[in-house]
Chains A and B, each alone.
Chain A
Amino acid sequence: MDARLVWDTWRRILTDDQLVAQVSTGGAEGVSPGDLSPEQLAIIRDYASTPAATIQNIGMYRRGLVRNSLGALSLAPLTSRILYTSTLDPEAVAEDFARSVAYRDYGPNFWSNAGDFVAFLAGLPAFAAPACQDAIAIDAGMIALQRRLSEQAPPVWPDDAGPIKAGPDGDIPWDATRFVASPAAVLVGSSRDIGDWIENPTEFDAGEPLPVCPQQWLIHVPAPSAAREYARLSDRCARVFWALRRGQTVAELATGLPDIPLADIRMLVSSLASLGVIGEQDRLAPGLPDGPAPPAQGGPLPDHISVMLDPSVELLDDELLGYRLLAHGHFSVGMAIPPGEGLLAVVAALKERPIRIGELRARFDNQQIVSAILESLHRNGFLYAAAPSAPSQAELDRMRGRAALLRGSYLRPAFDFSLDEPDLVETVAALLAAADRPPDLVLRAASLDDHAGVLGKLARLRLTGIDQFHSVVVQCQALSGDPELCRALNQLGATVDLEGVDWPGAVTAIPGLEVTTRQCVAVHAVMTPDLTILDSDTRQRAVDWAASVSLTGLRLRLDPDRLWPNGDPGDGAFTRVFEAVQDLENRLGDACIVNLPSDEVLLGNARPLASPVPPSALFERFRLAYLRWRLPVLKGCENDNSWSQVPEVEGKLVRVEGDYLPQHPEVLGLKQGDVLVDVCGGLGRVARRMSAAVGSDGMVISIEMFRCIGELARRFASERGFRNLHFRQGIAQRLPLPDAVADAAVNEWTGAIWELGLGPAMIGEMARVVRPGGRIATTHRLVRLDLARLAEPWVQYAEIYNWIRQSFERPDLTIVAEHIWGQVAPSMIGENATQWRKQYMPRLINPHGVIYTRDENINPCADLYMTIVAQKNE
């Protein structure tokens, strides 16, 4: 018998309840072949031939797992205390945990063991109290820090960092030094003040009621073998530390934190440096990448455990460009299976029943791809480590709970508050400081009247804070005409969802609406349509009304139990409603269903909605039908062209120094405080580059027709600290703004608009929204010149010049400039294709993890562009 096979088989027995039962009976005949090879069967029969010794060994193994998990939990003192002072039997809980991870033996990976056990405990109802969750979160943060430090030790540990000597008499000039947070420290927030418990975990009384009192805790590991330390940070100190996720000088910090005096910032920097948790970037984190920390990884899954797909995962019939789609009914998220031999087979094998990873591997040749698939499915919550037999509902709930925790580590956080909540600003500030990426914020109020103050404070928080919101939605039933409030909403980057608007349009004027939209605040009407939504004329009435009052879009609340009171009308009826909503969106530019998972949820970027009441069975069928319908639509937004570059590489396509309008904002007559509309804004490159031209009091409103692209643009901007960019969904031929509210409008590089004949309508809309005297501009490439063959220029649209020129020849416009400019065309050779493809949905594996090795343009080429600028006549 091959020793390796014996070892693997024994480990399989140890983790497989069915095999345990079989070898324990002593009857070798009781072993069923299943997927076992004859050699494995012989080994199992050998173990079965000594039942007493084998039972002894299995018992020893499983008791060892319990002992080791409880031992590892001692590394998480707060959670350990919670468990031991609860009414639960710690050993029984540890047994449940061992079963939930398919009897995995973590061995000396104590932190992983502690981390998974803590995550398991976090999902138990007994520990749902906020203070327990706070304490568990602090332990989880500490454990994640330890694991991160294991993977990459910091160049300098806090104990060796030493205090900084900055200032006129110090070694380090304040102005020239870029400070950064140490990777050996992490900030964790709590909703309660659990400082006494952190200091002395044995005093932890989980039953003690604590008032809401958000706190920030700095956890750091001073040296490789030193115990972690905790420090309570003031709000200001936490904000400084958090800002230093990226290297910044004190001056830059002061710009981002204008409410903290410069002298105080220096003091806070010195204070953090004395702990060694921040320091000079060159010493402390020379390789620290820009941008947010990468999402947590699920980690590789070992061969001996069994895995299974969530039973709610469905393989959709649709095929798009060779891709197939998975719909996860429980998490409401999709995943794309790229074309490729064997990929579907791996998924199918995982769908049948729990399967050992070792067994799965044996079926396929390319182990690297199998590993990548498992990792990807696991990370996205599609795959669980399971017991070898089908799980009970309770076990499935636990597995989903664990998957939700893993997903929670990379999904965008979301907060939901009433605007009337006491201490709202302080609570939001604390949560923002604790969030590891800009969150979504929903604020609710019956009426916006009387909330100018709190919205103003929140706006100042955004303007002065170190962090950003991804999005802010204010839900209300009545608007306010208060200009100050509108100004605060814009500074906050908020959009307004106005509840209770009649379908297909309000019969009477909505108070405050015109004042609000004229100040460029985005307003969506929330409507509850009936089945007349299926009627095209009714939909057009909705579009016409929305356009007449300059709404940004419609938010539809669809209740299937009211739409179909007689019961399930079938998927066909559901789909007709979804298609009607899509038609509304095509006509209006922005219409979506608010009580179904958003595109951001479906694409695995945001958390699904928490329903306050359990959904009805009909609603669940409605939701699943929506997943089946919407995921292919979203996948259809993707394609393989190379114009969707992420910000990190956008300078290659259009170099900053050569980009005409950002370099010459004067041709648009732009000044600080102006409103600029960026039509077909895409991933926001133009908006970001034009941001400085309008300053912090101005606005760049970027209009993009694809919601998923606009969300990416919003993410790129918020993660990079832009505060005057507003990303809205809309179409070029119906801009969601009132007349004459903008100072300028631009459109750059949108070939399809001209090709589809929509160019004149777009120019007309740009002219409409710009004030008299304001300017509009558009840029497009005219030709690409092969420098070795100048006689043979390549032309994408031969008519582009005439198209653009003729569109500008309108009575309300006067062309003031036609600039021809150019740059050497970039080569893609050596670039990672992933950064240049339009791919938004999580994929089973990444088919574009390749480097471009060839370019269609062998010779150096030059691109020639034309920017045409016109002024709106007075």
Chain B
Amino acid sequence: MDVPRYGVGLQFNPELMGWFPFFEEPLDVLEVLFDSVMGPLDGPALVAPRSVELVQQISGTIPLIGHSNYGGDFGFLDLADTTAVRRHVPLARSLDVSWVSNHCFYSDASWSDVWSSPLQFSSAEAVRAAGRARALQELYGVPFAHENAAYYRACPGSDMPEEEFLAQLIGLSGTYLHLDLHNVYANEQNHAAQGYSVRRFLDTIPLDRVICVHMAGGRWIDGQYHDLHDTRVPDPVWDLLDEVLSRAKPSAVILEYETQALFCDGETLDTRQTTEMIQADLERGRTAWDRAYGANSRHTTASGVL
């Protein structure tokens, strides 16, 4: 499958709507969260009425990619009954996204249990998940990538490291990877004692299948590191990006934030400071990208087709 190369973009997160100047930024790509624009699964609307105008605003003006949190992709419902098939697939077509990414979590028609339910890292689950992934990629008709998870604990019954599971999954499914570097970083903060290693992770996953990178921040609370998306991207994560860009050729780097008031050095920033900080991170991302791919290599700076 062809994967166009875009550059550096931002997640179109509902928490940023109404105050962040999305359309004043030279964004190369925008990542749409299907779950936040779709209509309720038990209602008639594909796009929620409150999102219709928003979707019209972004359609055709900037390259879009789709991100799915709660599709039930890897759960145990019949695929045809999942939110992924009933809402995300038609949304992906309607928005004409270049690719779609999802999460390596279990869910069915549920939301709140998702983040505590990383996939079981076992061969049997790699085979089962690969079958669903392959079928979904066919339905989407565009590349389909899976995001590595941040988790507080692994799923009982896991008997292999996450990176080996992902390598096996991708090898069986013919799908792609969506590499969240902050998730990798967070897992190392929380699970290094149990043997988690960023180094081994990056050396094991098939880097050539990485089509997108997520960058975000988080914080320590009560002895645990949390993937809260409410700080700047930490320096070690930027270092990881440089490394990945030197070893792989992802098509986009997407920054994620989920608050109007970022935390910084123990303080809560106001909206203006938050905006400036996100803009600074975006600029840092663009610099890293250009360093790896060369000048004029992004959607907003390229003169022709890349």
Are A10 and B111 within 8 A (Cβ)? no
What residue in chain A is nearest B45 (Cβ atoms)? A225
Q: Is B294 an interface residue (CB 8 A)?
A: no
B interface majority secondary structure: loop
Q: What distance in Å separates the Cβ of B109 from its nearest Cβ neighbour in chain A?
A: 4
List of B residues within 8 angstroms of A146 by Cβ? 40, 42-44
List of A residues within 8 angstroms of B231 by Cβ? none
Q: What distance in Å separates the Cβ of A771 from its nearest Cβ neighbour in chain B?
A: 60
Taken together as a complex, chains A and B put the C-alpha atoms of A225 and B106 apart, in Å, by 29
List of B residues within 8 angstroms of A52 by Cβ? 152, 223-224
Taken together as a complex, chains A and B put the C-alpha atoms of A68 and B157 apart, in Å, by 30
Taken together as a complex, chains A and B put the C-alpha atoms of A719 and B113 apart, in Å, by 46
Please encode chain A, from 206 to 238, with 1 for each CB lying within 8 Å of some chain B CB and 0 for all others.
000000000000000100111110000000000
Are A3 and B111 within 8 A (Cβ)? no
Q: What distance in Å separates the Cβ of A17 from its nearest Cβ neighbour in chain B?
A: 16
Please encode chain B, from 133 to 167, with 1 for each CB lying within 8 Å of some chain A CB and 0 for all others.
00000000000000000001101110000000000
Q: What distance in Å separates the Cβ of A300 from its nearest Cβ neighbour in chain B?
A: 11
Q: Is A611 an interface residue (CB 8 A)?
A: no
Given the known A-B contacts A14-B113, A108-B111, are A3 and B155 also in contact in the complex, defined by CB atoms under 8 Å?
yes
Are A6 and B43 within 8 A (Cβ)? no
Are B109 and A224 within 8 A (Cβ)? no
Are A3 and B122 within 8 A (Cβ)? yes
Please encode chain B, from 22 to 60, with 1 for each CB lying within 8 Å of some chain A CB and 0 for all others.
000000000000010011111111111110100000000
Are A107 and B83 within 8 A (Cβ)? yes
What residue in chain B is nearest A14 (Cβ atoms)? B113
Taken together as a complex, chains A and B put the C-alpha atoms of A77 and B39 apart, in Å, by 17
Q: Is B120 an interface residue (CB 8 A)?
A: yes
List of B residues within 8 angstroms of A225 by Cβ? 39, 45-49, 52
Q: Is B275 an interface residue (CB 8 A)?
A: no
Question: How many residues in A have their beta carbons less than 8 Å from beta carbons of B?
Answer: 47
Q: Is A11 an interface residue (CB 8 A)?
A: yes
Please encode chain A, from 806 to 829, with 1 for each CB lying within 8 Å of some chain B CB and 0 for all others.
000000000000000000000000
Please encode chain A, from 318 to 342, with 1 for each CB lying within 8 Å of some chain B CB and 0 for all others.
0000000000000000000000000
Are B156 and A111 within 8 A (Cβ)? no
Given the known A-B contacts A3-B157, A46-B156, A149-B43, are A105 and B48 also in contact in the complex, defined by CB atoms under 8 Å?
no
Q: Is A7 an interface residue (CB 8 A)?
A: yes
Quick one: which of A257-277 are within 8 Å of B by CB? Answer: none
List of B residues within 8 angstroms of A312 by Cβ? none
Are B44 and A105 within 8 A (Cβ)? no
Interface centre among B49, B155, B156 (most CB of A within 10 A): B156
Q: Is A109 an interface residue (CB 8 A)?
A: yes
Please encode chain B, from 53 to 97, with 1 for each CB lying within 8 Å of some chain A CB and 0 for all others.
000000000000000001000011000000100010000000000
Are B48 and A64 within 8 A (Cβ)? no
List of A residues within 8 angstroms of B76 by Cβ? 4, 7
Taken together as a complex, chains A and B put the C-alpha atoms of A61 and B113 apart, in Å, by 6
A108's partner among B50, B87, B119, B125 (CB-CB below 8 A) is B87
Q: Is B219 an interface residue (CB 8 A)?
A: no
Are A7 and B112 within 8 A (Cβ)? no
List of A residues within 8 angstroms of B46 by Cβ? 224-225
Please encode chain A, from 36 to 52, with 1 for each CB lying within 8 Å of some chain B CB and 0 for all others.
00000011001100101
Please encode chain B, from 102 to 130, with 1 for each CB lying within 8 Å of some chain A CB and 0 for all others.
00001111111101110110101100100
Given the known A-B contacts A64-B112, A149-B43, A149-B44, are A227 and B50 also in contact in the complex, defined by CB atoms under 8 Å?
yes
Are B153 and A54 within 8 A (Cβ)? yes
A-B Cβ contacts below 8 A, count: 138
Q: What distance in Å separates the Cβ of A298 from its nearest Cβ neighbour in chain B?
A: 14
Are A60 and B83 within 8 A (Cβ)? no
A105's partner among B40, B47, B113, B223 (CB-CB below 8 A) is B113
Are A53 and B153 within 8 A (Cβ)? yes
List of A residues within 8 angstroms of B108 by Cβ? 107
Taken together as a complex, chains A and B put the C-alpha atoms of A105 and B83 apart, in Å, by 14
Taken together as a complex, chains A and B put the C-alpha atoms of A33 and B76 apart, in Å, by 26
Are B113 and A11 within 8 A (Cβ)? yes
Taken together as a complex, chains A and B put the C-alpha atoms of A75 and B39 apart, in Å, by 11
A112's partner among B38, B42, B128, B153 (CB-CB below 8 A) is B42
Interface centre among B40, B47, B115, B157 (most CB of A within 10 A): B40
Q: Is A65 an interface residue (CB 8 A)?
A: yes
Are A105 and B125 within 8 A (Cβ)? no
What residue in chain B is nearest A103 (Cβ atoms)? B112
Given the known A-B contacts A4-B76, A52-B223, are A61 and B112 also in contact in the complex, defined by CB atoms under 8 Å?
yes
Taken together as a complex, chains A and B put the C-alpha atoms of A373 and B83 apart, in Å, by 28
Q: What distance in Å separates the Cβ of A108 from its nearest Cβ neighbour in chain B?
A: 4
List of A residues within 8 angstroms of B41 by Cβ? 107-110, 150
Are B153 and A107 within 8 A (Cβ)? no
List of B residues within 8 angstroms of A42 by Cβ? 156
Are B50 and A111 within 8 A (Cβ)? no
B42's partner among A47, A60, A150 (CB-CB below 8 A) is A150
List of A residues within 8 angstroms of B39 by Cβ? 224-225
Taken together as a complex, chains A and B put the C-alpha atoms of A11 and B113 apart, in Å, by 7
Q: Is A57 an interface residue (CB 8 A)?
A: yes
Taken together as a complex, chains A and B put the C-alpha atoms of A221 and B50 apart, in Å, by 14
Interface centre among A2, A7, A10, A64 (most CB of B within 10 A): A7
Q: Is A1 an interface residue (CB 8 A)?
A: yes
Q: Is A617 an interface residue (CB 8 A)?
A: no
What residue in chain B is nearest A65 (Cβ atoms)? B112
Given the known A-B contacts A107-B111, A225-B46, A225-B49, are A3 and B152 also in contact in the complex, defined by CB atoms under 8 Å?
no
Q: What distance in Å separates the Cβ of A39 from its nearest Cβ neighbour in chain B?
A: 10
Q: Is A153 an interface residue (CB 8 A)?
A: yes
Q: Is A147 an interface residue (CB 8 A)?
A: yes
Quick one: which of A94-116 are within 8 Å of B by CB? Answer: 105-112
Please encode chain A, from 359 to 380, with 1 for each CB lying within 8 Å of some chain B CB and 0 for all others.
0000000000000000000000
What residue in chain B is nearest A105 (Cβ atoms)? B110
Taken together as a complex, chains A and B put the C-alpha atoms of A75 and B49 apart, in Å, by 10
Are B44 and A10 within 8 A (Cβ)? no
What residue in chain A is nearest B124 (Cβ atoms)? A3
Taken together as a complex, chains A and B put the C-alpha atoms of A75 and B125 apart, in Å, by 37
List of A residues within 8 angstroms of B38 by Cβ? 108
Taken together as a complex, chains A and B put the C-alpha atoms of A501 and B119 apart, in Å, by 76
What residue in chain A is nearest B71 (Cβ atoms)? A108
List of A residues within 8 angstroms of B153 by Cβ? 47, 50, 53-54, 57
List of A residues within 8 angstroms of B43 by Cβ? 110-111, 146-147, 149-150
What residue in chain B is nearest A1 (Cβ atoms)? B157
Given the known A-B contacts A1-B157, A60-B115, are A6 and B120 also in contact in the complex, defined by CB atoms under 8 Å?
yes
Are B44 and A107 within 8 A (Cβ)? no
Taken together as a complex, chains A and B put the C-alpha atoms of A14 and B111 apart, in Å, by 13
Are A109 and B155 within 8 A (Cβ)? no
Taken together as a complex, chains A and B put the C-alpha atoms of A268 and B156 apart, in Å, by 65
List of B residues within 8 angstroms of A227 by Cβ? 49-50
Q: Is A802 an interface residue (CB 8 A)?
A: no
Interface centre among B44, B47, B109 (most CB of A within 10 A): B44
What residue in chain A is nearest B40 (Cβ atoms)? A110
Interface centre among B35, B45, B83, B223 (most CB of A within 10 A): B45
What residue in chain A is nearest B194 (Cβ atoms)? A50
Are A43 and B156 within 8 A (Cβ)? yes
What residue in chain B is nearest A58 (Cβ atoms)? B116
List of B residues within 8 angstroms of A61 by Cβ? 112-113, 116
What residue in chain A is nearest B120 (Cβ atoms)? A3
Q: Is A87 an interface residue (CB 8 A)?
A: no
Taken together as a complex, chains A and B put the C-alpha atoms of A111 and B43 apart, in Å, by 7
Given contacts A61-B113, A107-B41, 15 further A-B contacts (CB under 8 A): A3-B157, A6-B120, A52-B223, A53-B153, A54-B153, A57-B153, A60-B116, A68-B111, A75-B40, A105-B110, A106-B109, A107-B108, A111-B40, A146-B42, A226-B49
Can you give 18 A-B contacts (C-beta < 8 A)? Answer: A4-B76, A11-B113, A14-B116, A46-B157, A47-B153, A53-B152, A53-B153, A64-B115, A106-B109, A108-B40, A108-B41, A108-B83, A109-B40, A109-B41, A147-B42, A150-B41, A221-B44, A228-B49
- Closest 8 pairs (CB-CB, A-B): A64-B112, A1-B157, A57-B116, A110-B40, A53-B153, A53-B152, A46-B156, A149-B44
